[in-house]
Structure formats: C-alpha cells, structure tokens
Amino acid sequence: MTAIPDIMLSNGQPIPQFGFGVFQIKPEDTVAAVSTALKAGYRHIDTAQMYGNEREVGEAVSKSGLDRADVFITSKLGNDAHQPDDARQAFEESLKALGVDYLDLFLIHWPLPTRYDGDYVSTWQALEEFYREGRARSIGVSNFQPKHLRRLHTECEIPPAVDQIEVNPYLTQEELRGFCTEHQIAVEAWSPLGQGNCLADPTIDSIARRVGKTPAQVVLRWHIERGDILFPKSVTPERIRENIDIFDFELPGADVEAISALNRDERTGPDPDKFDGN
C-alpha cells in the first residue's frame, strides 16, 4: 500500500497530501470511482455540495470497510448558501448526505465578491461555529485571493487552515501561494493537471522520459515537491491507480524549477474576483 505523507495544518490537524477528487464525476459513477480509489490507497476524498455526489461518496466510504477516522473527507459550501442560516442548513445536509457526524474539512467554495453585498465574512463566521462544535475538524476556503484572506484575518477569529485554488504548471500562483505560506495557510491545488493542457509540453515530456514516468505523474510529483495538497480525479481504474503511483521517485530542484518556469498565468476556471457563482 502506498504511504501518502501528511501535511500538518495550522490548527494541528493532519491532512493527507494526496487525495481523490470527484468534481464532474456523475453520481452514478461516483461509488465505483471512489471505491477504486480507496482500494488503491487513497485516504482523502474531496467533494462539494455543488458536485451533487456527496451521497455517493459517503456510500463508497461506508462500503469500504475502513474506519471513518481513516478517511479524510472534505466538502464545500454551495454558492447559494452563503447567508449564515442557509450555510447552517447546507452543512447539516452535507453531513446527512455523506452519512457522517463530522467533516475533516469544510470550505467556502467561492468568495463571490459580487453577491451577498460581498459579505463572505458572516459566511465564514458560520463555519467558525461548525469548527467550535467539532463537527468540522478544520475549516478553510477555496478560490480566495489575498485581499479576501486579509479581510478574514482582520474581521474573524479563526484563520482559514486551507485555501483550495487552481494550480498547475501553466498557472503556478506564486504570489498567492507565497501569501498562504506567510500566513500558515495550506495550499490545495484543484485541476492539478490543468485539464491536461500542459501534459504535451516538451519540458514535461522530456522529464517524464528521463525518469520513466508519465507526464501526468511528473506534474503530480511536481505538486508534491512544492508542498501542494492535491486530488486528481478520474473514473478510469487504471488512471486512478497510475495517479497515486508517484511516491517511488523524486524530482530534483532543477526539474521543479523548470516546470514552474512554464507559468503562463493561464486559468482554466473562472476568475475569483468576478465569478458570481452561476
């Protein structure tokens, strides 16, 4: 079984650095995909209310025979539930759908600065309640930029443990990652392969040939070397097993730097400063 390293969050809670994402996996395919991942050694599952497959994630975890404490489960607040009372109800619905009495990590999915009068602070204060109650072992955000994070630091009591952001070799997010490092916020990378856009890059292909791995494995290992927490997704059993097979090699610093130098500031997802959740 692959030994996946943990990263210690600022609140003292460990989080597996490598996990399995279920974004865009259809509910009818989710149980099989998550079951395959758990059998392959994944112990960190990342879902969200807006993905529509929390129930199936919970079913796969329940059927796995693993202890609840051995599987790290993350979910995220839906964009239509930022009002505190709505957030409370949505959190309860996530727990029920997943069939658990706590989440290891719960995130605000998007800052939505053009909605709710830009008030993500009161939303965050609802998450602080879940944390104090112990029903969310850690809380964090997703797609928050430095100015959003600064506001939480200024106006709230509990700092985010995590910021889940789009990161890949064509969008390295150095400034945001630096801010997070400075403020002890762990970085999670969504779309770590950039929807495959970077996999044919000559630099990545050359490194892959030299180390005897696939381009995807090299990019995933690049994330590991940089300290990112990541969770690639797939519904193909062979690819699920291939993605986790990255802990038997390392990339030297020169290779990490060469891949980082490919940055184009090229997003595949929405701009967090403009995205309104629709």
Is residue 116 part of the annotated active site? The answer reads no
Query: Which residues have a Cβ under 8 Å from the Cβ of 227 and sit 6 or more positions away?
Result: 7, 187
Q: Which among 42, 51, 116, 120 is annotated as catalytic?
A: 51
State whether the Cα torsion 18-23-27-29 is positive or negative: negative
Active site residues: 51
